[in-house]
Structure 1
């Protein structure tokens, strides 16, 4: 009997599921490249670029504000300094295309990570692919050149470490270095640390209650995890700001109420929108599948899922968290429902051709620098920059919130009223006054208090309308999206 030839490693990779994964990556690209709200116009990216420029040019970490005239010199820490550098260097060398490339690399890595988590939990590739498609749609809530993407990538790495431990694969040694990186990348490390504590607590007790079943670790194993947790906590203090950076996420949660009130992504989930309906469908689907299958839940899974659902329903930005945590659990629910799949003959050449077509399509559709810059110019006051540069050196401009970082990046010598950092402006009362002006409340009192000489705002809205009809102010520049006002000279 002649033995069948052993397939080469390349043919093992060129299987049909690889085509589906490549298609998923292409869809994520399309969602970003052709979004009606272009991701490249996220306003936060410009103050992140400004922070990175300061670090690279001065070789000193920011410890006080230097970009505004309202809080100049007030203490401030750059809590995402490490994740700003890749965006900065990409923009420095490749412009908006570089920003888009870094964002896409992070987004694709996250989606692949979610697929890996889903396959790890279910060991069923169809269930993993299906739930990852759903996760990709939920993840569009933060599909932009944001530092937060680094945080979500770290969370995936942590969950891989925690969930593979159940399969006797011990990578717990990687937790301290992971959190050392994480705290310097983004404040979402706190979510990961809470997850770590919940995971340990859930595995420290024996529970047999209905569909919940968990056996406690032996005492030596619990002690080992406590040691790892202590080392991980110690690693958090290996940062340029010490305990202040460790305490920062708590400050956001408990001391920055206006941040949660006025920033859109901190609003509760809107079930009238597509992502809200999709999240509701995921929750109802998981409930229905568990009624049908009545599978056993690990206590850690139940607790982490509960925390995630609460977070996603309370703040829409945590839909991304739901995509990461719930998708693998949904794949586990779908595992038996999909049934056994009969083996099919592999067609590596056809699969390779399909993947090549997808790669060619993405390369062909990759947005040009001209197109990306046009998107930026349509959202930010690019046309108004010459008029702003021509203002007197002592001009004090009350700028639109979303434009603060853009103005500082393009005109670093002219301090702004506020930018998207939010936290320092909340603490110093600037955000409260800005909100009053935005709603045409106590406008002239606030303008006088800050000795505002000019106002730069989008056309329309109650505040610009009030200035247009005030004898104290006159319009000195306008274009289709921007209006620049100047105060009349005092008699």
Structure 2
């Protein structure tokens, strides 16, 4: 008969009497099926983390990293722009950009996809390891990891944030190692028999020496290191309060060690190429709202991330409410604060997910065991042959299908022609059109990779790291207008002027995303003026390209584009090319014939 500990598992067997040998076989079969379920859940996690969505800033991240490697130094002022020449560039993503540039150079876009998926699995693996040390069972943890992975999906394209999540995980793992068994030591309680945790001693605080190293790497990888400072500060402050409350003067040495660790974490953020300049920029940037950026908006029911987040919040609340494990008030307080931020800003959902991955599983396991009925006195039997093979086959098929999806996602990073101006950039290259380009900020870094150095942009996704607020204001005035009130502009900016960007820096070309009504209307009105300053020279179902009339509509100009050479259609292609989908340079024959050709994209295949 199964023991009480064995009965905690949900055995898929019929309730009839069997012999001891059959019982042993039933247990082996159950272990095999359980391992297949765990494997299926882990492969499902990999699929969730492998979403091959092309981030609009990826072109820039790889390009900037390649340029640093090529030139041998960081660029201190804005590059590839005509509106912010000489303006300081505080790039807080140097390690991420160098990493992605190196991976792409050696392994192409497939390498980028595999890298970010491996980082995601390593993050989940760290959570699973920490949970195992606390006695959480693999099946429970694997199921919870699938929920966590689905909460991370939207935040896991190839972008610097992936390294932020990796450093945050390393930080949480370090805190886990430094304070494992802490509560039992504080109140002189024995450690739980279900845990493999050794008793806490002050020597464990030696793990805190890793925190400044982690923070140096994080500071130079992505600006979310600020979240790491807040989490670390709150965590250490909570532990200090506990130590003083329970141990009084006996804790002075331990408190001093934690204070020193916290100060070193702060000091580590100054180890960057800009010194205090990074912090000055952060204070200025974080002090200004960013309502134009969707990641700073609150999640809505229509967002793909909304229901996974709500599910995770419900699981976390239920687990902590109904657990039989001792609750850690420091962890709960931080979870509440970060959870509040996750409900206020989309970009903080990932950090709430990471915290849940380390601090909720032990309570989830306790809640499930508390809710499970006692089956220890019920007789069991082996599954029938067809049942065993049927379940095993179904699991193997599920694993195979997921593995196939995973393989398809990892082998390519598509750039869809109905989302990015692949055709417009190819036509510009075909016609040798270059110059100062006004372009939507979510296409601008693609434009930099595709058309530089001959073409520079008015504004791009680097945002305030290298653009003054005046440039930000004028570009968003053109793209968004008042955006239904969801705008931040300088107090002295004056009324919204959607045409101001058309004169800022004297641009030559204007590329428009036709999904935005504001710039379409602005350019229509401009074209209806007597002697219009702008002429439509290219259009497809996604984009419009306008050229300054004095350059592209004047027969006396050497860059004149005659009406019969212009390509004006409403065609919208839904196919995709592999990233980076850069324009193909025309061959000598194409160059000779390009004046009459209207099919510039046929060579992009």
Is TM (by shorter chain) over 0.5? yes
Name the larger-Rg structure: 2
> Hey, which of these two has a bigger chunk of helix by percent?
1
Q: Which residue of 2 aligns with 1:8?
A: none
Structure 2 residue 354 is the aligned partner of structure 1 residue 298 = no
Contact kept, 8 Å, 2:151 with 2:349, in 1: the verdict is yes
SS, match of residue 148 in structure 2? helix
Alignment equivalent of 1:202, drawn from 238, 241, 248: 238
**C-alpha deviation, 1:357, in angstroms:** 9.1
Q: Which residue of 1 aligns with 2:258?
A: 225
Task: Provide structure 1 residue ranges, at least 5 long, that are not aligned to the other structure.
Answer: 1-10
Structure 2 residue 530 is the aligned partner of structure 1 residue 475 = no
Q: How far apart in 1 are the matches of 2:75 and 2:423?
A: 30
Q: How far apart in 2 are the matches of 1:110 and 1:20?
A: 20
**Structure-2-length-normalised TM-score:** 0.68
**C-alpha deviation, 1:151, in angstroms:** 1.0
Question: How many residues are paired up?
Answer: 464
Q: Which residue of 2 aligns with 1:125?
A: 138
Q: Which residue of 1 aligns with 2:459?
A: 418
More displaced 10-residue stretch of structure 1: 227-236 or 320-329: 227-236
More displaced 10-residue stretch of structure 1: 275-284 or 335-344: 335-344
Alignment of 1:53-64 (within 5 A): 53-64=66-77
Question: Relative to structure 1, is the Cα distance of residues 97 and 379 closer, same or farther in structure 2, using a 3 angstrom cutoff?
Answer: farther
**C-alpha deviation, 1:18, in angstroms:** 5.6
Q: Which residue of 2 aligns with 1:312?
A: 342
Deviations 1:321-379 (A, max 9, x none): 1111123333232222222999999x9xx99x989994896367523899634x34443
Question: Relative to structure 1, is the Cα distance of residues 84 and 25 closer, same or farther in structure 2, using a 3 angstrom cutoff?
Answer: farther
Q: How far apart in 1 are the matches of 2:463 and 2:115?
A: 24
SS, match of residue 369 in structure 2? coil
Q: Which residue of 1 aligns with 2:7?
A: none
Alignment equivalent of 2:509, drawn from 454, 462, 466: 454
**C-alpha deviation, 1:489, in angstroms:** 2.2
**C-alpha deviation, 1:32, in angstroms:** 5.1
Structure 2 residue 45 is the aligned partner of structure 1 residue 28 = yes
Question: Relative to structure 1, is the Cα distance of residues 372 and 280 closer, same or farther in structure 2, using a 3 angstrom cutoff?
Answer: closer
Q: How far apart in 2 are the matches of 1:391 and 1:433?
A: 29
Structure 2 residue 343 is the aligned partner of structure 1 residue 287 = no
Q: Which residue of 2 aligns with 1:372?
A: 413
Q: How far apart in 2 are the matches of 1:368 and 1:22?
A: 19
Alignment of 1:346-357 (within 5 A): none
Deviations 1:175-213 (A, max 9, x none): 2222221111122222122222212211222499xxxx9
Contact kept, 8 Å, 1:214 with 1:299, in 2: the verdict is no
**C-alpha deviation, 1:233, in angstroms:** 2.8
SS, match of residue 262 in structure 1? coil
Q: How far apart in 2 are the matches of 1:172 and 1:20?
A: 37
Q: Which residue of 2 aligns with 1:4?
A: none
Contact kept, 8 Å, 1:151 with 1:189, in 2: the verdict is yes
Q: How far apart in 1 are the matches of 2:212 and 2:510?
A: 48
Task: Provide structure 2 residue ranges, at least 5 long, that are not aligned to the other structure.
Answer: 1-27, 182-199, 383-387, 482-495, 555-605
Alignment equivalent of 1:384, drawn from 413, 420, 424: 424
Contact kept, 8 Å, 1:267 with 1:315, in 2: the verdict is yes
**C-alpha deviation, 1:455, in angstroms:** 0.8
**Structure-1-length-normalised TM-score:** 0.83
Q: Which residue of 1 aligns with 2:368?
A: 338
Q: Which residue of 2 aligns with 1:252?
A: 285
Alignment equivalent of 2:437, drawn from 390, 397, 419: 397
SS, match of residue 486 in structure 1? strand
Q: How far apart in 1 are the matches of 2:428 and 2:85?
A: 20
Deviations 1:58-107 (A, max 9, x none): 11112101210000110112111001122112222333222222221222
Q: How far apart in 2 are the matches of 1:66 and 1:330?
A: 45
Q: How far apart in 1 are the matches of 2:159 and 2:37?
A: 27
Contact kept, 8 Å, 1:203 with 1:214, in 2: the verdict is no
CA RMSD of aligned residues (A): 3.6
Question: Relative to structure 1, is the Cα distance of residues 121 and 45 closer, same or farther in structure 2, using a 3 angstrom cutoff?
Answer: farther
SS, match of residue 218 in structure 1? helix
SS, match of residue 70 in structure 1? coil
Alignment of 1:7-86 (within 5 A): 19-31=36-48, 38-39=52-53, 41-86=54-99
